[in-house]
């Protein structure tokens, strides 16, 4: 298993797409600085201003960028045909997928939390002395939100890996991730109440605030899961995707 993990780590850091996706995610830091400077200027003009914290507002950029990393970890091998070599070297397909999941999970968790923490720190330094709404929360609450956000990025990257394994298509897997992250939350709004709020609480983008013990609110109604339940559902997303991916990997020829 150690040799397989080492091999997967070598593959991940030897392709340029890894650095492209990580670089795109890291743009959050720059965008956070620009956003904080902008709203700080507005706050000075108006006396005070309620603005979204950049680590929350730009979280989808980190999520989708590193989800693409998860997808490409497997679909690039299908596209180039190197999946046959991988399966020849590691005949146990479950071991191969588990090694890929471990490398993707660890890489995205470290990268996401580093980017989020830097974005948070720089924005608070810039906003210090300005009357901005995101300065009002406590450090403990902010850290919980940051950790929940980092976990959501890792979960979505593993979902991308699972979908990429199942679909064997980069485009198909990325479209599926985009639908999960952006399309489904909009579709749920058209469900009749109270089902719109109930289903909304189960969607991946809405799990982060609930893990941080914050209540969801919208014009269609309120919804809330206890933090332990929201965390359990978040972990279920990658687990289900990887199980489906393993099933398809095990039953089909490369």
Segment 14-62, tens digit of pLDDT: 989 999 999 999 999 999 999 988 888 887 777 667 778 899 999 999 9
Query: Across the strands, what pairs with 222?
Result: 217
Give the lowest-confidence range in 86-95, 100-109, 126-135, 154-163: 126-135
Question: pTM of the full predicted structure?
Answer: 0.92
The vertex-118 CA angle with 59 and 236, nearest 5°, equals 40
Of residues 191 and 236, which shows the higher confidence score?
236
Q: How confident is the model at residue 194 (pLDDT cuts 50, 70, 90)?
A: confident
Task: Give the residue among 58, 73, 143, 83 at the shortest CA–CA distance from 105.
Answer: 73
- Asked whether the predicted pLDDT for residue 239 surpasses 70, the reply is yes
**Residue 156: CA count within 13 A, CB half-sphere:** 33
SS3 76: helix
Which residue reads 């397989």 in tokens? 4
């Amino acid at each position: 298993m150690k040799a397989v993990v080492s091999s997967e780590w070598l593959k991940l850091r030897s392709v340029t797409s890894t650095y492209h996706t990580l670089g795109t995610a890291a743009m959050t830091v720059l965008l956070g600085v620009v956003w904080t400077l902008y709203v700080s200027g507005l706050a000075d003009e108006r006396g005070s201003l309620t603005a979204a914290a950049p680590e929350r507002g730009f979280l989808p950029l980190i999520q989708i960028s590193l989800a693409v990393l998860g997808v490409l970890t497997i679909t690039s091998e299908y596209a180039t045909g190197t999946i046959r070599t991988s399966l020849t070297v590691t005949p146990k397909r479950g071991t191969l997928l588990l090694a890929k999941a471990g490398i993707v999970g660890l890489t995205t968790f470290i990268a996401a939390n580093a980017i989020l923490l830097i974005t948070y720190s720089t924005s608070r330094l810039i906003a210090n002395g300005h009357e901005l709404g995101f300065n009002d929360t406590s450090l403990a609450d902010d850290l919980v939100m940051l950790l929940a956000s980092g976990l959501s990025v890792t979960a979505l990257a593993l979902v991308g890996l699972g979908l990429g394994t199942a679909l064997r298509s980069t485009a198909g897997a990325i479209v599926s991730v985009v639908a999960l992250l952006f399309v489904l939350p909009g579709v749920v709004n058209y469900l009749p109440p109270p089902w719109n709020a109930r289903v909304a609480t189960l969607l991946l983008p809405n799990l982060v605030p609930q893990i941080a013990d914050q209540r969801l609110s919208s014009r269609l109604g309120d919804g809330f899961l206890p933090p332990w339940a929201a965390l359990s559902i978040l972990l279920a997303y990658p687990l289900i995707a990887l199980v489906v991916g393993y099933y398809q990997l095990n039953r089909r020829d490369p």
